[in-house]
């Protein structure tokens, strides 16, 4: 199984950019990295995914360096409503091995 590591928590203020990094070893060239957001008493919700370089959508960007040993979720101009736990997911072994990170609790303050 791939091993994934994330910071336990991060603090930020409204309007700032937040970068959350997930370290992952043992992933193949085309294995995808996916990020999810989870609010209390809810299931995780998809944010963004990619397998190389940079991906951007309307809510976030995902940066994956060439060595693919880590990935960084970037949230531009966070607001109070972005306070949540963020998880990275790595899928390896041809889709049969799923490893979630332990999650990063992001707290956004005024």
Residues found near other proteins in the complex (CB under 8 A): 1, 30-34, 36, 41-46, 49, 51, 87, 89-92, 94-96, 98-103
Rank residues 30 and 81 by Cβ distance to other proteins and give the closer one. Answer: 30
Rank residues 77 and 98 by Cβ distance to other proteins and give the closer one. Answer: 98
Distance CA 83, CA 53 (A): 26
Please report how close the Cβ of residue 95 comes to other proteins at its closest, in angstroms: 4
Q: Are 34 and 89 in contact (CB under 8 A)?
A: yes
Distance CA 43, CA 58 (A): 21
Please report how close the Cβ of residue 43 comes to other proteins at its closest, in angstroms: 3
CB atoms closer than 10 angstroms to residue 59: 11
Please report how close the Cβ of residue 77 comes to other proteins at its closest, in angstroms: 24
């Amino acid at each position: 199984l791939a091993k994934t590591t994330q910071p336990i928590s991060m603090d930020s203020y409204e309007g700032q950019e937040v970068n959350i990094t997930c370290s992952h070893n043992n992933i193949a060239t085309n294995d995808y990295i996916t990020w999810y957001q989870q609010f209390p008493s809810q299931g995780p919700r998809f944010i963004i995914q990619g397998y190389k370089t940079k991906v951007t959508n309307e809510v976030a960007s995902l940066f994956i360096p060439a060595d693919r040993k880590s990935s960084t979720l970037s949230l531009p101009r966070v607001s109070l409503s972005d306070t949540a736990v963020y998880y990275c997911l790595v899928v390896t072994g041809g889709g049969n091995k799923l490893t979630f990170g332990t999650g990063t609790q992001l707290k956004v303050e005024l």
